[in-house]
Amino acid sequence: MVRVLSLFDGCAGARQALDSLGIRCLSTYFASEIDKYAKEAAVKNYPDIHYLPDVTKLDESNLPNHIDLMIGGSPCQSFSIAKRQKESGLEKGKSTLFWEYVRILNIVKPKVFILENVASMKNIDKDKISEVLGVNPVMINSSLLTAQSRKRYYWVGKLRQDLTYETIPIEQPLDEGIILHDILEDPNDYSDRLKSYCVTATYQRACPKDYFNHGQRQLIFMGGVGSKDWAKDGKNLSRNYPQGSRVYSSLGKAVTLSANAGGIGGKTGMYEINQEKYNQLLMYYGRSEEGKLARKKHKEENGKDGGSRDSNSREWTIKQDQSKSPCVTSSTDARILQTQECVVRKLTPIECERLQGMKDNYTEGVSNTQRYKMIGNGFTIPVISYLLTQINKEFEWV
């Protein structure tokens, strides 16, 4: 039985990784976390977790002994912000909690430790962390093992006889070839990228301007012509269009041919034939001068930018210029259909869970806002599993 201490535990991402490998830590998994919603999700899945006080209150009197693995990802906000500032991210803000990780590491002296943090930090911070730990990091992009682009540093060290640490060499994982389209709940929805932008704790704020202007907070394109909400299931997915009015992504499998199905594309389905939809959206939200002029003109004529937000705050309608090239075709008789608008939506909580390698509905039971937050704050489970696999070669935990 492996004894684990997880600091900044979140929704128990480390436990999920251990579980995926069959590394047993039943009743020997100790965690420190202050987010009550993340703890709620963790306990729902692993009721045997032993919770400790927050990291600032941990000391010799309440820390467990004989720890095999200590793992944690100290808050990264100051490292990210510091990239635009002069001072080190280790000098102010939440990222100074790294020093609590170091303090506890020196008390517990686990056989192995893993520290995770953002790869966007300044070199001065990365070098300082490496100096303090005595271990050099490996940078791994989650895109190798999931459908999400998420670059992180991982410091992985093992205890020497003199009670200092040395680096455990970690090779880069092989690319699993997973793309964003693979993890969508509705395979008929369309993604314009092979990999999702990094899912962060603030994903709930996702909107078209963030996506098209700043390249962050992934959005998904929904296909359909005409009225929606046919399925009446309250979900913003392509299945809410009648079968004959759906527009399918050319990345997926063709729908079954039918002799009698109704609707514009009822017999064969309608398929996206190029990326005109994306190009048209860039006209309104892109960084080009052409896009800026289009937005300015639209705002002068309509009093607002080209996107109108749906009342449910999860999808948006992007008005398109009818003079633009059409983007769908009915393969029944090669007719070209002129779409009046395009709909984009947020990733669902389940899709975000999949991007992080969690089980579907692992975080279910709290609000979507809290689900997005804990998912974005968490580990990418397949990456942690991969690191543990490399560690296991030496320690044989399973």
Residue 76 known to be catalytic: yes
Contact between 178 and 356 (Cβ < 8 Å): no
Tokens of 90: 């280790």
What letter would DSSP give residue 95? G
Positions of E strands within 8-103: 29-32, 50-52, 69-72
Q: Which of 25, 76, 198, 327 is catalytic?
A: 76
Q: Beta strands 4-7 and 29-32: pairing type?
A: parallel
| Residues contacting residue 152 through CB under 8 Å, at least 6 positions apart | 116, 117, 118, 119, 139, 140, 141, 142, 380, 383
- Give the three-state DSSP class for 196: strand
Torsion angles phi and psi, residue 113, rounded to 5: -135, 155
- Give the three-state DSSP class for 351: helix
Q: How many CB atoms are closer than 10 A to CB 63?
A: 16
d(CA 221, CA 178): 19
The residues facing 140 across adjacent strands are 152
Contact between 75 and 54 (Cβ < 8 Å): no
The residues facing 158 across adjacent strands are 112, 166
d(CA 315, CA 68): 46
State the number of CA atoms in the 13 A half-sphere of 126 facing the CB. Answer: 17
* Catalytically active residues, by annotation: 76
